[in-house]
């Protein structure tokens, strides 16, 4: 399939009535992406991470490489429809508990800015729960704004730093 390649971050920390625990929710979300016309090219393993913000539940996180002919705003709308199909409602609390979160991290055509979307995702460089899974399936992909690979960004974020003297 021709088209654009997208790096999608997936997260869940709420059990779904039909799909089960967050790990199973992510597997079901990957299946949903395929049913919605995305060609799934690679999927990372699922990792568990501590919550950010107000939520107390641990997250299941993963990354996927998908290909589609759609432009980023169209992809964003389709991801929102998938989230809604899993029970996510608009206007939820930032960093709150959620059945499914799907974010566009990067796309193959470089930076993108519109009223509803900024790519690369503005916060991905500081999130190990995104960079860890992403670097395993797309480690050589370069951030178009810094020129660094996902492997390099992940190493910078996770490399132990010497204690101040």
The domain spanning residue 12 has which CATH number? 3.30.70.560
Asked if the structure places residue 70 within a domain, the reply is yes
98 catalytically annotated:
yes
Main-chain dihedrals φ then ψ at residue 52, nearest 5 degrees: -105, 155
Active-site residue (options: 101, 125, 127, 136): 101
128: left (phi over 0), alpha (psi -120 to 50) or beta: alpha
Asked if the structure places residue 163 within a domain, the reply is no
Domain that holds residue 108: 4-158
Asked if the structure places residue 75 within a domain, the reply is yes
CA distance 141 to 157: 16
Active-site residue (options: 27, 57, 88, 142): 88
2 catalytically annotated:
no
Q: CB-based contacts of 81: which residues, under 8 Å, 6+ apart?
A: 36
Would you state the pLDDT for residue 41? 97
Output the six-digit token pair for 128.
């190990």
Asked if the structure places residue 132 within a domain, the reply is yes
Asked if the structure places residue 91 within a domain, the reply is yes
Would you state the pLDDT for residue 98? 79
Asked if the structure places residue 144 within a domain, the reply is yes
Cβ proximity of 41 and 66 under 8 Å: yes
CA distance 10 to 2: 23
Active-site residue (options: 70, 103, 125, 136): 103
73 catalytically annotated:
no
Q: Domain tally for the chain?
A: 1
Q: Is-cis flag, bond preceding 61, omega within 30?
A: no
Instruction: Indicate the pTM of the whole model.
Output: 0.90
Active-site residue (options: 98, 125, 127, 136): 98
88 catalytically annotated:
yes
HSE-CB for 48 with a 13 A CA cutoff: 8
Written as tens digits, the pLDDT of the chain (165 aa) is 689 999 999 999 988 888 889 999 999 999 999 999 999 999 999 999 887 766 677 899 999 999 999 999 999 999 999 999 998 666 555 555 678 999 999 999 999 999 999 999 999 999 999 999 999 999 999 999 999 999 999 999 998 777 777
Q: CB-based contacts of 110: which residues, under 8 Å, 6+ apart?
A: 144
Helix (H, G, I), strand (E, B) or coil at 144: coil
Asked if the structure places residue 165 within a domain, the reply is no
Residue with tokens 């393993």: 45
Would you state the pLDDT for residue 55? 63
Cβ proximity of 131 and 150 under 8 Å: yes
């Amino acid at each position: 399939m021709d088209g654009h390649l997208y790096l999608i971050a997936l997260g869940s920390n709420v059990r779904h009535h039909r799909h089960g625990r967050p790990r199973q929710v992510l597997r079901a979300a990957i299946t949903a992406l395929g049913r919605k016309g995305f060609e799934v090219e690679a999927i990372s393993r699922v990792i568990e991470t501590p919550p950010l913000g107000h939520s107390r539940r641990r997250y299941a996180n993963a990354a996927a490489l998908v290909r589609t002919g759609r432009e980023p705003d169209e992809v964003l709308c389709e991801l929102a429809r998938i989230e809604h199909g899993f029970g996510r409602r608009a206007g939820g609390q930032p960093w709150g508990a959620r059945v499914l979160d799907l974010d566009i991290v990067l796309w193959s055509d470089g930076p993108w800015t519109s009223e509803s979307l900024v790519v690369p995702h503005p916060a991905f460089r500081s999130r190990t729960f995104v960079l860890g899974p992403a670097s395993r399936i797309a480690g050589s992909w370069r951030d178009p704004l810094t020129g660094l690979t996902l492997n390099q960004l992940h190493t910078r974020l996770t490399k132990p730093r010497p204690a101040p003297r």
